[in-house]
Each structure stands twice: as C-alpha cells, then as structure tokens.
Amino acid sequence: MKRTPKTFPEIPEVCPHCYFGRIQPGKRSFAARTNGKPVMVPDFPAWICDVCGFTIYDPTSLINLQRLLTNPAKPYLPHPAPKTPKTKPAKPRPQTDQPV
C-alpha cells in the first residue's frame, strides 16, 4: 500500500492574528490534555509572531507527538531478565547459656 505524504497549509509570513507582525520559527511550551491527563512539552517547535506573540505549533511536530502519545514505545528487552536464585533460610541455632 502506497502512502501519500500529508500536505500542510503553508506557514504565513504575516501574522493571521494582528496582520502586522512577521511569523518567525521558535520554541514554546506546549500544553494539552490526553485521556484526561495533562501533557507539558517544553521547547516545542512553533512559529511565533514577533509583534503579538501569536503561536502556530509546527504541524509535523504535533503529528509526531500524537504518535508518541497514542502508541508508546514498548521497552526493549533483548533477553528475559535473569532469575535470582532462591536462598534457603538459615537453620536456627539452639539456644545455649555458653557464648559461641
């Protein structure tokens, strides 16, 4: 099955919020809720207006984050963990009045 690449709308040069500032690449904190749990990602790639601060998060990075949150990687264990040998409890010594 051949996958067609997803096309995203182009990031505008002029801010769509204030119509004055320029959109520049940068990083912002991303906050969202997934399955009712909060998710915070610092330094998330974004496009930021240099005048009003309007933020457009990078669409490719959003898709990658969604993949990570919906399909978490399973831990890689090449071999099963070694079993620890069970030790027998020590035999109790009889109580005597003499020091050992």
What is the DSSP track for 25-80?
EEEEEEEEEETTEEEEEEEEEEEEETTT--EEE-HHHHHHHHHHHHSPPPP--SSP
pLDDT greater at residue 25 or residue 73 = 25
What is this structure's pTM?
0.61
For residue 40, what pLDDT band results from cuts at 50, 70 and 90? Answer: very high
pLDDT greater at residue 40 or residue 80 = 40
Q: Is residue 66 part of a domain?
A: yes
Q: Is residue 55 part of a domain?
A: yes
Residue 33: domain span? 23-70
State residue 83's pLDDT score.
72
> Mean pLDDT over all residues of the chain?
81
If one counts the domains in the chain, the total is 1
For residue 11, what pLDDT band results from cuts at 50, 70 and 90? Answer: confident
Burial profile 21-47: b = 16 or more Cβ within 10 angstroms, e = fewer: bebeeeebebeeeeeeeeeebeebbbb
Q: Is residue 63 part of a domain?
A: yes
State residue 51's pLDDT score.
94
Q: Is residue 43 part of a domain?
A: yes
Q: Is residue 2 part of a domain?
A: no
